Structure 1
Amino acid sequence: MKIIILGAGQVGVTLAENLASENNDITVVDIDVNRLRELQDKLDLRVIQGQGSYPRILREAGAQNADMLIAVTNSDEINMMACQVAYSLFNTPNRIARIRSTEYIFETAKLFQPEVIPVDYLISPEQLVINYIYQLIEYPGALQVINFADKKISIVAVNAYYGGPLVGNALSSLPERMPHINTRVAAIFRQDRPIRPQGSTIIEANDEVFFVAASQHIRAVISELQRLEKPYKRIMIVGGGNIGAGLALKLEKNYYVKLIERNKNRATELTEMLNNTIVYYGNASDQELLAQEQVEQVDVFIAVTNDDEDNIMSAMLAKKMGAKKAMVLIQRSAYVDLVQGGVIDIVISPQQVTISALLGHVRKADIVSVFSLRRGVAEAIEAIAHGDESTSKVVGRKIKDIKLPSGTVIGAIARGDEVIIANNNAVIQQGDHIVMFITHKKFVPDVERLFQPSPFFL
């Protein structure tokens, strides 16, 4: 696939890294020649220096022959105009734009239409992060929650801890522990290495366990596997930008929310914007302020400012002072592995959340949803099975007879309103939505080929 990426910022670079390794023809456009030079030194791709919305630059990038344009510069206006130019002058068939301003997002239905601003898919990183954090709060104890098949199926990651109900038990004992709930462990990561789950596999402390179940059973499964934490009530948010404000707005109806903002004018704006959130003007790294606001009673401390170091330090201080759980937004990918699983409980990478939303629109075959897991190492995919026994490598076959790529596990099948937790004898039917876990993303192209029906396959 020939793809043009506009913007060599963190999202653009992460996307290029994901796609360049999958035999795509990638061209990256940016105004910063140094960024482009660094990118070209690392990856096998083409780079062009210039303004991504200019017709001349898009022509040089090959927009007239491109399959897709992905505009992820730091400017909403440039992203929108690039899609308009690609549509009007070059008839580029697929156009994706990152839009961050709520001023545009509020008017999505009217603005982003072929006859107005021709953006096929609009991506808002801030809203994606807000939804991601909200789900973690809704499911106490989960490290990650991912929905598939119109929210019928969920994959959830939990951490196995000393003394917990998971540790020391074989996976074959799960049906005995939950006789009325069908679930399956899709993957286990032990010391950052994937382990293929089998009935005899024994869970060890600190294993990261991914299980799949019908969404309606997720709470019950977490409760059984990890002693479900008590529902959160008290939330403290640090940072009143788009993410912090949007998260507070979403949470304040059902939770007791406090928000700390270090900019006085912004704190005043937030006081008028939010109805049931208590807004404080101050520095979240101020021990006296945290003590005064009884941080030791906080169930979840969430740091989402634009400064990674401030987020990390304030969260570590809050945990030291008694906050039960800390979630931190981190932009720099190098920090994620350093911080995750230590004092700080959950690290959120906006790049990985954004990439997950983008990949589903880039994948070949009928890939409906893609979620990047384990900081981009693994993926969870939802694919639709097409064809029949003569044209498809999966339709009409039992799971045990399908030649799945290495490290790939079929976790569940959505068939209409029915959710089928996968077993070796389950037969794939035309139109089934298949949810798979892939422990290493290098095998993603093999999965795509598996689900592409061919008139020549017998």
Structure 2
Amino acid sequence: MAELSRKNLVGENNDITLVDTNGDRLRSLQDKFDLRVVQGHGSHPRVLREAGADDADMLVAVTSSDETNMVACQVAYSLFNTPNRIARIRSPDYVRDADKLFHSEAVPIDHLIAPEQLVIDNIYRLIEYPGALQVVNFAEGKVSLAVVKAYYGGPLVGNALSTMREHMPHIDTRVAAIFRHDRPIRPQGSTIVEAGDEVFFIAASQHIRAVMSELQRLEKTLQAHHAGWRRKYRCGSGPSAGKRL
């Protein structure tokens, strides 16, 4: 998690200081990337001060210890008034009561990264929308980005994107991208949807199924829905995620 966060942030030209107890790892990363490093415990005030917490815009605490991440955010808030605090929290005992635990009057974490919960939520959405390759929610679940593969027999397959309004006059949806033969296509009104296309579209969550039915045969989607309870899922996030599913 820390490695992924570091790659993304460095790629966006941010001024980053990385804190870790492993000196060899820090030296290796410093040789590869443009960042400062400080060796020490990430929740200790002295270490955070040395890392520049006094004028930092954000603290991202993604160690393997939930408790260390929580204390780091508390120290950043109480001593350095760091405006944005993000923490990785894995334990379901904490995640379950996140609304009560993580706010400015308790443990001051602004944004929670709960990897196992993200996996569980993603699987739930795939079960809820049979036939979807991926579904991501935005705006507190009111809007969704869905990815579906177009099949022969779907009403929109073989037609231009400009006809979507005719097919669904009461639904507001936008096609954000199309992948055809593993290559991205910039969607335009004249773009013809072909069978096998992976279509990325945005719509109100309540309309996702209706848009999917334009890209796939209705009976195929229904068959997948009725067979959904028999699907087998292999969860690689550990026994905790499996039990919660």
Common fold: TM-score over 0.5: yes
Asked whether 1:118 is paired with 2:108, we answer: yes
1:243 corresponds in structure 2 to 241
In 2, Cα distance between equivalents of 1:150 and 1:97: 20
1:194 corresponds in structure 2 to 184
Contact 2:43 2:71 survives alignment (8 Å): yes
SS at match of 2:214: helix
Contact 1:13 1:39 survives alignment (8 Å): no
Over 3 Å counting, the alpha-carbon distance change for 1:21 and 1:139 in structure 2 is: same
1:66 corresponds in structure 2 to 56
1:212 corresponds in structure 2 to 202
The alpha-carbon deviation at position 233 of structure 1 amounts to 2.0
Deviations 1:256-282 (A, max 9, x none): xxxxxxxxxxxxxxxxxxxxxxxxxxx
Deviations 1:65-114 (A, max 9, x none): 10111101100111111112222322222212111112223343443343
Which of 229, 234, 238 matches 2:230? 234
Question: Residue 29 of structure 1 aligns to which amino acid in structure 2?
Answer: V
Over 3 Å counting, the alpha-carbon distance change for 1:65 and 1:207 in structure 2 is: same
In 2, Cα distance between equivalents of 1:100 and 1:202: 44
SS at match of 1:81: helix
In 1, Cα distance between equivalents of 2:14 and 2:33: 12
Unpaired runs of 5+ residues, structure 1, are 1-10, 248-458
Deviations 1:210-246 (A, max 9, x none): 1122222111110121225231222434456121111
What RMSD, in angstroms, separates the aligned Cα atoms of the two structures? 2.3
- Identify which of structures 1 and 2 has the higher relative contact order when contacts are C-alpha pairs closer than 8 Å and 6+ apart: 2
2:146 corresponds in structure 1 to 156
Over 3 Å counting, the alpha-carbon distance change for 1:167 and 1:36 in structure 2 is: farther
In 2, Cα distance between equivalents of 1:189 and 1:42: 33
In 2, Cα distance between equivalents of 1:118 and 1:223: 44
Which of 171, 175, 178 matches 1:185? 175
1:101 corresponds in structure 2 to 91
In 2, Cα distance between equivalents of 1:145 and 1:206: 18
1:314 corresponds in structure 2 to none
In 2, Cα distance between equivalents of 1:94 and 1:133: 29
Contact 1:237 1:244 survives alignment (8 Å): no
Structure with the largest fraction of strand:
1
Which of 26, 32, 50 matches 2:40? 50
In 1, Cα distance between equivalents of 2:140 and 2:197: 29
SS at match of 2:59: strand
Question: Residue 243 of structure 1 aligns to which amino acid in structure 2?
Answer: A
The alpha-carbon deviation at position 205 of structure 1 amounts to 4.1
Unpaired runs of 5+ residues, structure 2, are none
Deviations 1:305-354 (A, max 9, x none): xxxxxxxxxxxxxxxxxxxxxxxxxxxxxxxxxxxxxxxxxxxxxxxxxx
Question: Residue 75 of structure 1 aligns to which amino acid in structure 2?
Answer: S
Question: Residue 245 of structure 1 aligns to which amino acid in structure 2?
Answer: K
2:158 corresponds in structure 1 to 168
Deviations 1:30-49 (A, max 9, x none): 22334334433443222222
Q: Normalising by structure 2, what TM-score?
A: 0.85
In 1, Cα distance between equivalents of 2:48 and 2:18: 11
Over 3 Å counting, the alpha-carbon distance change for 1:201 and 1:41 in structure 2 is: farther
In 2, Cα distance between equivalents of 1:18 and 1:41: 17
2:212 corresponds in structure 1 to 222
The alpha-carbon deviation at position 55 of structure 1 amounts to 1.8
Q: Normalising by structure 1, what TM-score?
A: 0.48
Equivalent residue pairs, number? 236
Over 3 Å counting, the alpha-carbon distance change for 1:114 and 1:20 in structure 2 is: same
Contact 2:157 2:215 survives alignment (8 Å): no
In 2, Cα distance between equivalents of 1:21 and 1:109: 32
In 2, Cα distance between equivalents of 1:118 and 1:214: 32
In 1, Cα distance between equivalents of 2:133 and 2:31: 35
Which of 22, 27, 43 matches 1:32? 22
Over 3 Å counting, the alpha-carbon distance change for 1:214 and 1:118 in structure 2 is: closer
In 2, Cα distance between equivalents of 1:116 and 1:178: 47
The alpha-carbon deviation at position 117 of structure 1 amounts to 2.5
